[in-house]
Structure 1
Amino acid sequence: MGDGAKVRGRAGRARGTRGRDRPGQRAPGDTSGRGRSGRDRRLRGGERAVTSEATESGHRTGFVGIVGRPNVGKSTLLNKLVGEQVAIATPKPQTTRDRIRGIRTWDDWQAVFVDTPGIHEPRTRLNRYMVDLAVGTLAEVDLAYLLVDAPALIERQAKNDAENERIIGYVAEAKTPTFLLVNKIDMVKDKGLLLPMIERLAGLHAFAEVVPISARRGEGLEALLQLTRERLPEGPAMFDADELTDRPVRFLAAELVREQLIMQLGQELPYHAAVRVDAWEERPNGTVALYATIVVGRKSHKPIVVGRAGAKIKAIGQSSRLRIERFLERSVYLDLRVKVDEGWIDKPDALRELGYEE
């Protein structure tokens, strides 16, 4: 499997192309789409062509954007809907920095679910890139899911209402049919508190549907999928039936390393760290050798990542390697280095090099 290989279901994961990322597939932060004969141009400002054959058969296909505040469960929902992990998900906010497209195919329809960064008040150039990406997605999809965190809305009503009202304003401006998804209902002990909260939000916008769910447990997702199918336009499938995402494995490997950075380091440092895959080699014995750089934004962060006698970066490397091996279903040699690039989150050239600027 080359570093630009398609990511398929486990039965077809070994298939792919060798070499670097193919045209239209940048890593680690590609937001330009797949370059796939123009068939998914809606996410790049174009229009999809619908064949008469597909229309007559009643096959449906479309893009579904997933938006909301940070840490409301968007990536968890994407992974549940696709059936495998295609986006990293952690308990910490702002884990997702890019659009991640997850694909699921049925006999008579196909959905391309688009996970987006959490919409928040941006304070850095990287944050602005993330928010612009999420807001821009609303106008480029056939259907949107606005995900809200039910326990947070109940416990911190005023603060969360204000933030969600701002996001609902973006939804209204985009004029895209939108489902309000009330997530984490399994964590609300007093279910009597759900209805007033739902009525309050539903009064702010004419949502196409309101669906209570638990993305973590999969509750309500079958009903959600049925409602989603009914809303998508008729058209041919845009991806092969066994494809899970349009992202190359190189990008996903870098994300799995970043996931471990987030999980194993303190609150502030992960937001000033990025991962760049420098080289990807396939050895004769079948092992994948992956060389990557962890870029941190302050000199004081490097010793934190490295740890005493290299203990922390060793732990990050070991857990990342296991995650990548599980994903690739192959042995992996992972070499991690740490580089300081002061203030990279506000430097256009650095962001562009890491794939965070178009």
Structure 2
Amino acid sequence: MRSGFIAIIGKPNAGKSSLTNRLTGEKISIVTPKPQTTRDAVRGILTTSEYQMIFVDTPGLLRPRTELGKYMSRETDQSSRDVDALVIVIDGSRPFGKGDRELVESRLKSGIPTYVVVNKVDLAGYEKTYPILSALSPLMKDEDGRGAIKEIVPVSCATGENIDALRDMLAKELHDEVMYYPEGDVTDRPVRFVAGEIIREKALLLLQDEVPHGVGIIVNVFEEKKGSVYIEAEVVCERESHKRIIIGDKGSMIKRIGEAARKGIADMTGKNVYLKLFVKVREGWRNKRNYMRDLGYGD
């Protein structure tokens, strides 16, 4: 049995969470079209007869503008150290710019075996993908004492193209002879945490663009019984105007969020789910560490 940790990093919306889910074959991380959906490093665990591979899905790399942003940057930085391999995800549907190259070059200096995944090739097509691959190719050579990209892998998380090949490549980087997690575990996060993330995912998918960045979830009650789960959770926002949007006309929006979240949690647990949602305003919580701690962001 070989095992090891693989960190998955990249800019917001490059497809890191989708890649984690594809590589593990499980829904480990929530996925939405909104940038900065992932706020915590989440580990997805794939155990086979030959190896245990732990994928670390990280928040998108960005210049932090809030205390929450700083927390997310620390999560990414800390989670991409002391790993067996690094996967940098590039959005293949967008032009490859100076910032993308700087991101790759900065990570090569770590000396960690680095793979660059060009995602969304199903959307990009050959015309958009080829210039990216050409720009990355020189970085496969070791110049001036820097490290080099080990492999450049074009993939589609939507269709699964090249996912198996990527997984096989990464398996060769595993060297530890221990099993870090029990067989059957698919994430290091408790069910309570995942339930909160599912609620947030459904809120992000249903709400207007100006609201999602300021939405957080606090699970106050989580009682799991033999055939059911009872949950009480707060949907936290930063403004009264956002609260009105989240609740909706006569409670229509919060009802939709609750119904979607209930189904998602039921699919995850295989149990009947009783979910109560409350909407509360905590002004400027993304810049207040005491509020952030209440929402699980920080010590």
TM range (shorter): over 0.9
- CA RMSD in angstroms, aligned pairs only: 1.5
Q: Counterpart of 2:143?
A: none
Secondary structure of residue in 2 paired with 1:247: coil
Q: Which residue of 2 aligns with 1:203?
A: 138
Structure 2 residue runs of 5 or longer lacking an equivalent are 141-147
Residue 173 of structure 1, CA deviation: 3.9
**TM-score (normalizing by structure 1):** 0.78
Alignment of 1:254-333 (within 5 A): 254-282=196-224, 286-333=227-274
2:129 to 179, 189, 194: 194
Identity %: 39
User: Secondary structure of 2:35's partner?
Assistant: coil
Aligned equivalent of 1:341, options 282, 289, 292: 282
TM-score normalised by structure 2 residue count: 0.93
Q: What is the CA–CA distance in structure 1 between the aligned matches of 2:94 and 2:165, rounded to whole Å?
A: 24
Asked if structure 2 preserves the Cα contact closer than 8 Å seen for 1:165 and 1:204, the reply is: no
* Unmatched 5+ stretches in structure 1: 1-58
Deviations 1:119-151 (A, max 9, x none): 012111101111221123222311010000111
Q: Structure 1 residue 351 and structure 2 residue 287: aligned?
A: no
* Structure 1 residue 281: Cα displacement: 2.2
Q: What is the rounded CA distance, in whole Å, between the counterparts of 1:112 and 1:283 in structure 2?
A: 29
Alignment match of 1:168 (pick from 79, 84, 104):
104
How far apart are the structure 2 equivalents of 1:307 and 1:256?
A: 20
Indicate if the aligned counterparts of 1:125 and 1:347 stay in contact, CA closer than 8 A: yes
| 1:181 aligns to 2:117 (yes or no) | yes
Question: What amino acid does structure 2 have at the position aligned with 1:93?
Answer: P
Residue aligning to 2:163? 221
Letter in 2 for 1:163: G
CA deviations over 1:91-118 (Å, ceiling 9, x no partner): 1111111111000011111100000011
Alpha-carbon spacing, 1:169–1:343, altered in 2? closer, same or farther (3 Å)? farther
> Can you list the C-alpha shifts for 1:218-277, whole angstroms capped at 9, x where unaligned?
111111111111112141221122110010000000000000110000112111010010
User: What does the per-residue CA deviation read over 1:12-32, in whole Å, with 9 as the maximum and x for residues that have no partner?
Assistant: xxxxxxxxxxxxxxxxxxxxx
Offset of 1:335 from its aligned partner? 0.3
Structure 1 residue 170 displacement after superposition: 3.8
Contact 2:223 2:230 in 1 (8 A): yes
How far, CA to CA, are the matches of 2:253 and 2:50 in structure 1?
A: 48
In the alignment of these two chains, the number of paired residues is 292
Structure number with greater CO (CA < 8 Å, separation at least 6) is 1
- For 1:234 and 1:126, the matched residues in 2 are separated by 34
